[in-house]
Structure 1
Amino acid sequence: MKAGIQQSKTENIDDAKLFNTLFESIHTFPTPVICEVKKSAFGGAVGLMASADIVVCEACSTFAFPEVKLGIIPATIAPYIISKMGNSNARKRLLIPNPFTAKEAQAESLVHFIADNVPIREKTLSIAQAVAQGAPDALIQTKALIQRLEECVDDESAFLFCARMIANARISSEGQEGVKAFFEKRKPAWNNEENIPSV
């Protein structure tokens, strides 16, 4: 992220496209992908969750989208978050960077299963065993059907738009300040007490 300021525009966009490739590879993987979340997942890690077919987490897991606090835009993960959580929940979570719980994530369709009274690996394996009961080709064809119906995520122009958005955000003054503040373990300039409106 910090290196983006030294990159050419083309290099910056090409670098941003690598994340598109990562999330799309998971999203379009021909067989079912189960994501197991231990503890917390923030930002891009939640994008990985949203790219997967089935998500299992611990009861104590927390999630957040801190991008706007860092002065950047969650452009690369947004198509998958909207697809997984729906427009209304995505708006709430992407605009309010506060952490939210496993139960909230489940209610908003980001998480499918919570390992309440069993170890998470045991829960994940039981779900994998249930999926494995399906015929291999039927599972592949069902995934292909679902992906065919998701026109928005398959739109190449949407990916290019998202790559350009994050590429621009990475080299913006807010993006650079946010990343710098993160590494320096301090609040970014716009989070100074005098800049925060009182409630």
Structure 2
Amino acid sequence: MQFTTLTVTAERHVATVTLNRPDVRNAFNETVIAELTGAFRALGDTPDVRAIVLAGNGPAFCAGADLNWMKKMAGYSNDENRADALTLAQMLHTIWSCPKPVIARVHGDTYAGGVGLVAACDVAVAAEGVNFCLSEARLGLLPATISPYVIRAMGEQAARRYFITAERFDAAEALRIGFVHATVPAAGLDAKVAELAATLVGNSPNAVRESKRLVQDVAGRAIDKDLLTDTADRIAVIRASEEGREGVRSFLEKRAPAWKPQ
């Protein structure tokens, strides 16, 4: 694919998707949404890619919606607004459901829909001093399309507060409430992201994919007979898979598994 708002690179099984609109703090519009959707669908289907990093170019990670896009939406009909919002919802779901693990590399301030981008990722690492803000209520709006991911990422109580107050919170608070998994000095951000990506690449691609799906499918479900059967079926299937058998063999033979990069 050719992109006008993103750059996409790949090296050693890790693809990096970088928001590349630094002049507007990587705010998104319909083009960014379409390109992110396309990029993650393509990378999810690329066998050589085992992990994806979502990053931003310039001072901010993502400032949410582009002002010119918002001005255009102000004149939309109800049906046009609904269709437009659905494309954003589908883009977030594409990232969240991508079969490859996604790491958010949050180097700069992140507002509104940008918070949703981070929440849709599997692992989030932020530079110390970064600020987050769910600012929609200040504008008379709702963080509706991002809410399924943000609430899962930070929890109901924290979401309740930050949705209604539209307060800024920093990386330390994001770590405290579980919204990000690690904070590091800005100079150490790339090293931490590379460390996490290398860990993912060293694991069984199939097991990583199925583990991601497992969390999504099991979270919030009642622990009942159906769930017990489901989880038993999953482990039975993966034990009999090619990578499952190879993993056990390599462990017993005290050697690296076949999928591990040399």
| TM class, shorter-length | 0.7 to 0.9
Q: CA-to-partner distance for each residue in 1:121-158, whole Å, 9 max, x for gaps?
A: 11110111112221000001111112222579xxxxxx
Contact 2:107 2:186 in 1 (8 A): no
TM-score (norm 2): 0.55
* SS of residue matched to 2:132: strand
Contact 2:119 2:149 in 1 (8 A): yes
User: Structure 1 residues 31, 132: CA separation in 2 closer, same or farther (over 3 Å shift)?
Assistant: same
In the alignment, the residues of structure 1 paired with residue 76 and residue 109 of structure 2 have an alpha-carbon distance, to the nearest angstrom, of 31
Quote the residue 2:143 is aligned against: 74
Shift of 1:36: 0.3
Q: CA-to-partner distance for each residue in 1:58-107, whole Å, 9 max, x for gaps?
A: 01111111100011111011111111111001111111112111110001
In the alignment, the residues of structure 1 paired with residue 153 and residue 161 of structure 2 have an alpha-carbon distance, to the nearest angstrom, of 14
**Candidates 143, 165, 168, aligned match of 1:96:** 165
Higher share of residues assigned helix:
1
* SS of residue matched to 1:119: helix
Give the number of aligned pairs. 152
Q: Which has the larger radius of gyration?
A: 2
In the alignment, the residues of structure 2 paired with residue 98 and residue 24 of structure 1 have an alpha-carbon distance, to the nearest angstrom, of 26
In the alignment, the residues of structure 2 paired with residue 30 and residue 80 of structure 1 have an alpha-carbon distance, to the nearest angstrom, of 16
TM-score (norm 1): 0.72
Quote the residue 1:131 is aligned against: 200
Quote the residue 2:190 is aligned against: 121
Higher relative contact order structure (alpha carbons within 8 Å, sequence separation ≥ 6): 1
Contact 2:105 2:193 in 1 (8 A): yes
Shift of 1:56: 0.6
**Candidates 84, 87, 105, aligned match of 1:15:** 84
Segments of structure 1 that go 5 or more residues without pairing to the other structure are 153-199
In the alignment, the residues of structure 2 paired with residue 32 and residue 117 of structure 1 have an alpha-carbon distance, to the nearest angstrom, of 23
Quote the residue 1:37 is aligned against: 106
Quote the residue 1:62 is aligned against: 131
Shift of 1:4: 2.6
Moved beyond 3 Å, runs of 4+: none
